[in-house]
Amino acid sequence: MNIGDRVVAWSKDEEIKKEGASGGLVTSLLTAALKGELVDEVIALQKKSEFEGVPIRTSDVDEVIKCSGSLHAAPINLTKFAVRFFEEHPDGTLALPAKPCDARGIIEQAKRKKIDLEKTYLIGLNCGGTMGPITTMKMLEKMYEIDPNEVIEEEIERGKLIFKTEKEEKAISIDELEEAGYGRRENCRYCEINIPVMADLACGNWGAGENETFVEIFTEKGLKLMNNAIELGLIETAPATEKGIKIREKTNGVMEKVAKKWHEKIFVPIEDRLERLHYYMDVMEDCIDCEACKYVCPVCACDESKCIDFYDPMDSHKISIYHLIRLLHLSDSCIGCGQCTDVCPAEIPLTTLHRRMADRIQTKYNYVPGMDMKIPPSFEVE
Amino acid sequence: MHLRGDRKMEEEWTPKITLFCCNWCSYAGSDDAGVGRKQQPPTTRTIRVMCSGRTDPGFVLAALLEGSDAVLFTGCHIGDCHYISGNYKAKKRFEMLKEILDELGLEDERLQLQWISASEGSEFAEYIRKVTEEIKAIGPSPLRQEWMK
């Protein structure tokens, strides 16, 4: 195997293969990395139910195996967990599965010296979008007419969202769901990066057969992960078929097109200046000053938060300096992961606000955050 | 008894302008304007900073929220910075702030950057006169008007 190779792979362990999605490759890679002493710890998402996942940091192989399976309805970003790992173990090594937004967050943190990218193994996961857990439960009751507690498996295939219970299997197209107001989170709808090209590996079921995972190897570290797992006899690989590669590219192309359409639909420019000011004030006046958006933000990297330096909570009744500074700080690094909207108890559409600012600055400086380590953040001056 | 000047103040709105001056050039420049008796309107509130690069974007946003109608960055000409590269940093911050404030709906004139050296007293006075006229023309800051309601 070489860098740039595309292969299909699957787990040799029957239990992992059954529990994990698409042949259980990612779980096997993580266990192999621990067994082969490639890494000290891994971060994984422990499944509590179909709608709840709890991120854990562990060096126990059995714990990792329990984490297998995909969770589309648990939108969690693992970046801050990786930051905490490097705060505690500056010389440690870490492996984690990463959606494009996890990987981009980690690269932005690495640029700000919070994460050592040389010591982080990123197992990229193709991502067509995630869903909010509550929205999903409501959607199951209304659109699918399934009791959310009975769901045992969920899957996205060919633009359709499939839910399986013990008795039945139902599929509805994502377009239809999104028109009805359900489906993916808003920021996922306009996200154009579906294949994590910035990670070490990109794994996904696009272009792979039943119980297989399509893997593209991007870096030396990715190659190490694969070879380590093969040497330990945990996974098996085969070269990807031409047809598979084409299907994967086509799926990616379709997803990008849909994302562009959503982007146009959501980000309608507000021409009038005063109207624009009122738009920002009206949505931000609901802020209750909990600072949750700051804690979850994967690209927020101040040692001592600058946004609360001049901040008086009395100000939060309208647009506050806390939000203004955050809008400025994230304008070069915002990756549109949607965490701030998810956690906001006042339901302020923060991601949309941040993206409105960030789109301007990122277009101006031609900077796409979290794609590689070569270009420094736009705020930096040579 | 009213003095003439007082009555005039009541009639005409004057803008409040926050002015950040670099200790090594524009602050001396404003001093030079004073020593040279160059006339300039009393609209500015000058804040001396050690370098234009010290002007944190937070200062600017705080000034605007607290009721400034405009904020001016002034510093040494590019290449003349006392600390080698402070004014490049100021320039970058200014450019990014400008985009943010524009998106927020503030006019272009409300944030300005001007390089003024220590010997340019008359240019300094001229610049303050020009900015005051510009701000008078566009009126009070919408951020302050809406925010103070």
pLDDT in tens, A169-184: 888 888 888 888 888 8
Question: Are the beta carbons of A238 and A7 closer than 8 angstroms?
Answer: yes
Check pLDDT > 90 for residue A50: no
Across the range A198-204, mean pLDDT stands at 90
Check pLDDT > 70 for residue B11: no
Long-range contacts of B125-132 (CB under 8 A, 24+ apart): B125/B33, B125/B38, B125/B39, B125/B40, B126/B38, B128/B17, B128/B19, B128/B40, B128/B41, B128/B43, B128/B44, B129/B39, B129/B40, B129/B41, B131/B17, B131/B70, B131/B72, B132/B14, B132/B15, B132/B17, B132/B41, B132/B43
Task: Kindly determine whether residue B146 and residue A361, on different chains, have CB atoms separated by under 8 Å.
Answer: no
Task: Please state the φ and ψ torsions of residue A57, each to the nearest 5 degrees.
Answer: -115, 120
A276 touches chain B (CB under 8 A): yes
Give the closest-approach CA distance of B113 to chain A in angstroms.
17
Tell me which chain A residue has its CA closest to the CA of residue B146: A278
Task: Kindly determine whether residue B142 and residue A327, on different chains, have CB atoms separated by under 8 Å.
Answer: no
Higher-confidence residue: A314 or A347?
A347
Across the range B126-134, mean pLDDT stands at 95
Question: In chain A, what residues touch B63 (CB-CB under 8 Å)?
Answer: none
What confidence category does residue A305 fall into, taking pLDDT thresholds of 50, 70 and 90?
confident
How confident is the prediction for chain A on average, in pLDDT?
Answer: 87
Among A352, A324, A332, A328, which Cα is nearest to A340's?
A352
**Can you give the pLDDT at residue A47?**
84
Angle at the Cα of B49 from the Cα atoms of B43 and B51, rounded to 5 degrees: 120
Task: Kindly determine whether residue A276 and residue B105, on different chains, have CB atoms separated by under 8 Å.
Answer: yes
Choice among A85-89, A102-106, B64-68 with the minimum mean pLDDT: B64-68
CB-nearest to A379 from B92, B107, B147 is B92
A324 touches chain B (CB under 8 A): yes
What confidence category does residue B10 fall into, taking pLDDT thresholds of 50, 70 and 90?
low
Question: In chain B, what residues touch A331 (CB-CB under 8 Å)?
Answer: 96, 99-100
ipTM over 0.90: no
Tell me which chain A residue has its CA closest to the CA of residue B53: A381
- Residue in this structure with the two tokens 């006042």, named with its chain if needed: A346
For chains A and B, CB pairs below 8 A equal 76
Check pLDDT > 70 for residue A317: no
Note the pLDDT tens digit of each residue in A106-162: 999 999 889 999 999 999 998 888 888 888 888 888 888 888 888 887 777 777 888
Across the range B56-64, mean pLDDT stands at 90
Higher-confidence residue: A297 or A158?
A297
- How many whole angstroms separate alpha carbon A28 and alpha carbon A236? 10
How confident is the prediction for chain B on average, in pLDDT?
Answer: 88
**Can you give the pLDDT at residue A85?**
93
**Can you give the pLDDT at residue B133?**
94
B interface mutation test: which of A309, A325, A328, A352 has the most B CBs within 10 A? A328
- How many whole angstroms separate alpha carbon A340 and alpha carbon A233? 41
What confidence category does residue B46 fall into, taking pLDDT thresholds of 50, 70 and 90?
very high
Across the range A312-334, mean pLDDT stands at 82
What confidence category does residue A68 fall into, taking pLDDT thresholds of 50, 70 and 90?
confident
Note the pLDDT tens digit of each residue in B74-100: 999 999 999 999 999 999 999 999 999
Check pLDDT > 50 for residue A272: yes
Across the range A356-379, mean pLDDT stands at 88
Task: Kindly determine whether residue B100 and residue A327, on different chains, have CB atoms separated by under 8 Å.
Answer: yes
Give the closest-approach CA distance of A359 to chain B in angstroms.
10
Note the pLDDT tens digit of each residue in A90-100: 999 999 999 99
Question: In chain A, what residues touch B93 (CB-CB under 8 Å)?
Answer: 379
A interface mutation test: which of B60, B61, B71, B109 has the most A CBs within 10 A? B61
**Can you give the pLDDT at residue A212?**
86
Across the range A232-255, mean pLDDT stands at 87
CB-nearest to A321 from B65, B104, B105 is B65
CB-nearest to B58 from A280, A325, A331 is A325
**Can you give the pLDDT at residue A303?**
84
3-state secondary structure of A251: helix
What confidence category does residue B7 fall into, taking pLDDT thresholds of 50, 70 and 90?
low
Q: How many CB atoms lie within 10 A of CB A282?
A: 11
Check pLDDT > 60 for residue B1: no
CB-nearest to B58 from A274, A306, A382 is A306
Check pLDDT > 60 for residue A33: yes
Check pLDDT > 50 for residue B108: yes
Instruction: Report the length, in residues, of chain A.
Output: 382
**Can you give the pLDDT at residue A286?**
86
Percent of chain A with pLDDT over 90: 30
Question: In chain A, what residues touch B99 (CB-CB under 8 Å)?
Answer: 331, 357, 360-361, 364
Tell me which chain B residue has its CA closest to the CA of residue A309: B58
